[in-house]
Amino acid sequence: MAKVLMKGNEAIGEAAIRAGCLNYFGYPITPQSEIAEYLSRRMPEVNGMFLQAESEVAASYMIFGASAAGERVFTTSSSPGISLMSEAISYCAAAQCPAVFVNIMRGGPGLGGILPSQGDYFQATKGGGHGDYHLLVMAPNSVQEAVEMVMKAFPLAEKYRNPVIILGDGLIGQMMEPVEFPDHLVSTPSDKSSWATSGMATRKSTQRNLVRSLFLVGNSLEDNNRCLKAKYDQMKKEEIQCADYNIDTDYEALIVSYGTMSRVCRTAIDILKKEGIEVGMIRPQTLFPYPDAIVQKAAWKPSCRVVTSMELSMGQMVEDVERVVQGRRPVTWFGIAGGIVPAPEEIVDEMKRVLHAHQS
């Protein structure tokens, strides 16, 4: 299929449809409202379902209800809206309901701003809602990758019966880039008859199904949480996605960065290379599961003197970088969280400063 020029937000909406998800519940919030606008006109064309809910809280429970009934569903929002959805996300995780959430991040905390940010790393990877659960978290750095991740998200959510969240930022949503919708990422919904409340007649069964998250009796809560834990362990084995840049050189420093920030870093690495300074980059595409071993191996390369986590936040992913580097290299953080995406030159200057401070 020929490439088309699309805004990230619209491409995300179209990707879900191409992936076979024809049900969307949502609530407007900048900078992702174009997703709802796009789907409000596009869903009727494909006999799909679009509903604007009265709040993010309601939208997320519509997702829970529809998912529990066995249908593919998704919703999109931005940071403050994801906070409101986090309750339902916890319920979906507990009740093992697959659903796809997209967070086009804006600056926070509070009302924050509407410009790009990566301030929801903790929220997405470490919890967000209450209780012992994880989301499978994917972070695209281009419109094309956002499309592919959305399309992959549905079968992954079904494979693990767990919510998947795409962590984009305002720039990914607002930017236009050429995209194509790969046919090989089209997937068929999985068989949900063993658990979904689809109506006994639908699955030709006399056994009812229950979707619940309350476990009062005996060890049932412990058992459920162990079941969830086993899924997260399996994700760590099977679902890690990661990219790298300039990693075959004897780089003096390693950048770890994801999403929009990683693109700025890529340009900075090119500039540094021209000046004779080699810097490598690891770009996690899944933030949970985190590419522990890959980051560690790259950080421990003998030529590498220092590892820097580059973020559009006040230092969130750096905690994972520190965790996996295990003190074997100094780990620094550089970030901007006021809605400004830094120029590559700022990254160049920071890497020079860091390398100067950590002489061999």
Q: How far apart are CA 357 and CA 202, in angstroms?
A: 66
Judged on CB neighbours under 10 Å (0-12, 13-18, 19+), 72 is buried
Closest CA to 179 of 153, 150, 155, 146: 146
One-letter identity of residue 117:
S
Identify the H or E element spanning 243: strand 242-245
Contact 109, 100 (CB under 8 A): no
Q: Which of 35, 69, 304, 348 binds another protein (CB under 8 A)?
A: 69
| Least Cβ distance, residue 55 to another protein (angstroms) | 6
71 belongs to the binding site for another protein (CB under 8 A): yes
Q: Which of 20, 37, 42, 49 binds another protein (CB under 8 A)?
A: 49
| Least Cβ distance, residue 149 to another protein (angstroms) | 17
Q: How far apart are CA 156 and CA 147, in angstroms?
A: 15
| Least Cβ distance, residue 339 to another protein (angstroms) | 9
Closest CA to 306 of 239, 352, 238: 352
Contact 134, 164 (CB under 8 A): no
27 belongs to the binding site for another protein (CB under 8 A): no
64 belongs to the binding site for another protein (CB under 8 A): yes
- In degrees rounded to 5, what are phi and psi of residue 105? -65, 140
Of 4 and 293, which has the nearer Cβ to another protein?
4
| Least Cβ distance, residue 334 to another protein (angstroms) | 15
Of 40 and 213, which has the nearer Cβ to another protein?
213
Torsion of CA 165, 171, 172, 175, to 10 degrees: 150
Stretch touching another protein by CB under 8 A, among 54-62, 131-139, 182-190, 246-254: 54-62
Residues 214-243 that bind another protein (CB under 8 A): 214
Q: Which of 62, 104, 136, 255 binds another protein (CB under 8 A)?
A: 62
Q: Which of 82, 171, 317, 325 binds another protein (CB under 8 A)?
A: 171
38 belongs to the binding site for another protein (CB under 8 A): no
Of 7 and 305, which has the nearer Cβ to another protein?
7
Q: Which two structure tokens, joined as six digits, stand for 298?
A: 């790259």
Judged on CB neighbours under 10 Å (0-12, 13-18, 19+), 268 is buried
Q: Could you list the residues that contact another protein (CB under 8 A)? A: 3-5, 23, 25, 30-31, 49, 51, 53-55, 57-71, 73, 87-88, 91, 95, 114-115, 142, 170-171, 174-178, 197-202, 206, 208-214, 260, 263-264, 266-268, 270, 341-344
